[in-house]
């Protein structure tokens, strides 16, 4: 494993783990969801 | 007549379901092979460019269009693209959004059954690879088992007595249909909320096992984990000057994220009016990338390298997705301490990855039959199951050289995805309008799409897609067309696809007539009062 190999591995893993953790942290901090409002459905039209 | 109304129960539910749809065998088996063959670590430069400029923008467009269509009571690509694209042409082009998942399911469920079958065999003693014999013999044993199991050597082996494969397929298919029939919230969402964490646990377990292998054979000190990682990650910058590398990276992102597949647009249509689509879309994409780069990029080739060395790993990569997954890794597991346990966990993880993807392939056609024909879920399920049984049986019967499977995968699972994605991004950015589209995307959004993406979604993504599609067609179409001309069975597979397409177009025509008769704005001409 070369130095650049470690760099690419490290940067790639940081990117995907960082993005995933940031996204889930955001989602988890969201306010509680609204009560479901039934959508219209035209399959019976 | 149907009065059933479906929607996601929670925001996590839709995120995990879309992520589950995206995470599949390609994350663990296709990605590492593509990266290793196209510059190693350097592959990640075009890969992340494609993610940023192609994958995520089209994902956001699909999520937004889906939710918009769902608000008007529509749940399939033809009806939604008819509204977004304002007319019949986008509506009929939207048939690809039903055809692709339906036709891909013909073979995908079969591959899923292989994973289940292999998991079962590993739980009950392995597939007969003896680590004490020469590696060439082990590889031959694994290859023979695979060929027998899937019927690679002769047609009709499934119908002719390969009962175990048929049983695994029946179980897999029945589970899929049961989950889809139970509905969006009670079936798909509930299953994905258990399957995705279970898949992550399995992946972490296998990853830890692989990264702690050290140097298992003292006589081959070069065959160690660090060198295995180096095989996958050492960058070859010369590859960046090769157009093939950029094409492979764009293709991998494209297929991996399930964009242009007709699934996201269908799943998003069950969201509520002000459910966030921007953060949810990004989270689902990030989850897919975590499985692909964070697990797929560390497990598969590292394990192969440690036990098979450089030449064995190169051969494994050349063997393609199936060769790597079902012929090389069994040899690797034979050498590993507790190899049967690891093998069972690995193939069970692949089965979970596959089933969370395959259930997403049935839902679009189910919704399509319900809304075009006005049928109940039960009747629409019966129709869909009938089509799938015919398609799957043909794939399984004509198994020699995986001829039906390969042909459908090339023409539908690869080529048509590009076409649908192009239709979608053009409808969203140019016909619906980028400003209107982003305003719609930001309804209830918890993060803002960066301003730069107006430009990316309107110009860069369509041009990027067009260039990739043109290069892909130039490289592959002549060979594929020659293959169809030379092999009647390939022509037969295309005939099957043509017949299914004609039926879906007919259903779309019936649906359009019904909706018009009911006074619905199916061409998106009237502004929505919201």
- Rounded to 5 degrees, φ, ψ at B450 are -55, 145
- B residues 332-371 closer than 8 Å to A (CB): 367, 370-371
A39 pLDDT higher than 80: no
User: What is the spatial distance between Cα B245 and Cα B50, in angstroms, rounded to a whole number?
Assistant: 11
pLDDT at B379: 96
The SS3 assignment for B509 reads: helix
B530 pLDDT higher than 80: no
Name the least confident of A34-38, B139-143, B449-453, B488-492.
Answer: A34-38
- pLDDT, tens digit (0-9, with 9 covering 90-100), for B359-406: 999 999 999 999 999 999 999 999 999 999 999 999 999 988 889 999
User: Angle at the Cα of B356 (from B74 to B338), degrees rounded to 5?
Assistant: 175
A44 pLDDT higher than 70: no
Interface confidence, given as ipTM, is 0.88
Nearest in space to B528 (alpha carbons), one of B63, B58, B67: B67
Please answer yes or no on whether A45 and B12 come within 8 Å at the CB atom. Answer: no
B162: tokens are 């390969």
- B residues 308-327 closer than 8 Å to A (CB): none
B116: tokens are 């289940």
Can you tell me the mean pLDDT for A24-32?
Answer: 90
Q: Is the Cβ of B374 closer than 8 Å to some Cβ of chain A?
A: yes
Which single residue is written with the structure tokens 């670590």? B41
Is B81 or B313 the better-scoring residue by pLDDT? B81
B150 pLDDT higher than 90: no
User: What is the spatial distance between Cα B288 and Cα B199, in angstroms, rounded to a whole number?
Assistant: 12
Q: Is the Cβ of B273 closer than 8 Å to some Cβ of chain A?
A: yes
Q: Is the Cβ of B73 closer than 8 Å to some Cβ of chain A?
A: yes
The residue among A1, A18, A30, A43 with the most chain B CBs within 10 A of its CB, best to mutate, is A43
- pLDDT, tens digit (0-9, with 9 covering 90-100), for B329-368: 898 888 888 889 999 999 999 999 999 999 999 999 999 9
Q: Exposed, middle or buried by CB within 10 Å (0-12, 13-18, 19+), for B321?
A: middle
A38 pLDDT higher than 70: no
B351: tokens are 């089965």
């Amino acid at each position: 494993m070369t130095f650049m190999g470690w760099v690419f591995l490290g940067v790639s893993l940081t990117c995907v783990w960082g993005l995933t953790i940031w996204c889930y942290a955001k989602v988890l901090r969201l306010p509680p969801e609204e009560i479901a409002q039934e959508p219209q459905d035209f399959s019976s039209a | 007549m149907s009065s059933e109304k479906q929607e996601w129960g929670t925001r996590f539910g839709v995120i995990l379901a879309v992520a589950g749809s995206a995470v599949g065998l390609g994350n663990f088996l296709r990605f590492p092979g593509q990266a290793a063959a196209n510059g190693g670590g350097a592959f990640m430069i075009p890969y992340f460019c494609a993610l940023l400029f192609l994958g995520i923008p089209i994902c956001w467009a699909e999520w937004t269009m889906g939710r918009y269509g769902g608000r008007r009571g529509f749940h399939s690509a033809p009806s939604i693209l008819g509204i977004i694209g304002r007319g019949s042409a986008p509506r009929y082009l939207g048939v690809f959004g039903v055809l692709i998942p339906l036709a891909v399911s013909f073979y995908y469920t079969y591959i899923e059954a292989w994973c289940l079958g292999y998991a079962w065999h590993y739980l009950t003693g392995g597939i007969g690879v003896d680590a004490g014999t020469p590696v060439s013999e082990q590889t031959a044993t694994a290859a023979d088992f695979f060929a027998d199991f899937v019927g690679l050597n002769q047609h009709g082996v499934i119908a002719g007595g390969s009962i175990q494969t048929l049983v695994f397929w029946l179980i897999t298919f029945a589970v899929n249909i049961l989950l889809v029939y139970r509905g969006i919230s009670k079936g798909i969402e509930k299953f994905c909320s258990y399957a995705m964490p279970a898949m992550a646990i399995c992946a972490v377990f296998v990853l830890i096992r692989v990264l702690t292998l050290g140097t298992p054979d003292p006589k081959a000190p070069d065959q160690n984990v660090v060198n295995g990682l180096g095989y996958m990650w050492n960058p070859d910058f010369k590859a960046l000057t090769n157009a093939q590398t950029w094409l492979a990276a764009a293709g991998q992102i494209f297929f991996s994220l399930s964009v242009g597949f007709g699934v996201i647009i269908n799943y998003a249509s069950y969201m509520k009016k002000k459910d966030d689509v921007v953060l949810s879309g990004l989270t689902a994409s990030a989850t897919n990338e975590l499985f692909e780069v964070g697990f797929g990029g560390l497990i598969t080739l590292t394990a192969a390298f440690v036990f098979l060395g450089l030449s064995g790993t190169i051969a494994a990569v050349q063997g393609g997705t199936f060769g790597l997954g079902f012929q090389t890794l069994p040899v690797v597991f034979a050498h590993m301490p507790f190899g049967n346990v690891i093998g069972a966990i690995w193939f069970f993880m692949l089965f979970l990855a596959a089933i969370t993807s395959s259930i997403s392939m049935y839902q679009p056609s189910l919704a399509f039959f319900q809304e075009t024909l006005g049928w109940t879920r039960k009747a629409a399920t019966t129709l869909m199951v009938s089509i799938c049984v015919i398609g799957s049986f043909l794939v399984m019967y004509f198994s020699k050289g995986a001829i039906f499977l390969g042909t459908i995968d090339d023409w539908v699972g690869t080529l048509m995805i590009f076409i649908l994605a192009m239709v979608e991004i053009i409808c969203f950015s140019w016909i619906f309008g980028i400003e209107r589209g982003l305003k719609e995307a930001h309804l209830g959004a918890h993060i803002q799409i960066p301003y730069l993406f107006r430009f990316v979604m309107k110009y860069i993504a369509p041009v990027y897609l067009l260039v990739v599609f043109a290069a892909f067609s130039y490289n592959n179409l002549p060979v594929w067309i020659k293959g169809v001309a030379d092999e009647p069975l390939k022509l037969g597979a295309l005939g099957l696809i043509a017949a299914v397409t004609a039926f879906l177009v007919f259903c779309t025509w019936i649906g359009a007539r019904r909706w018009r008769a009911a006074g619905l704005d199916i061409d998106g001409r009237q502004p929505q009062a919201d």
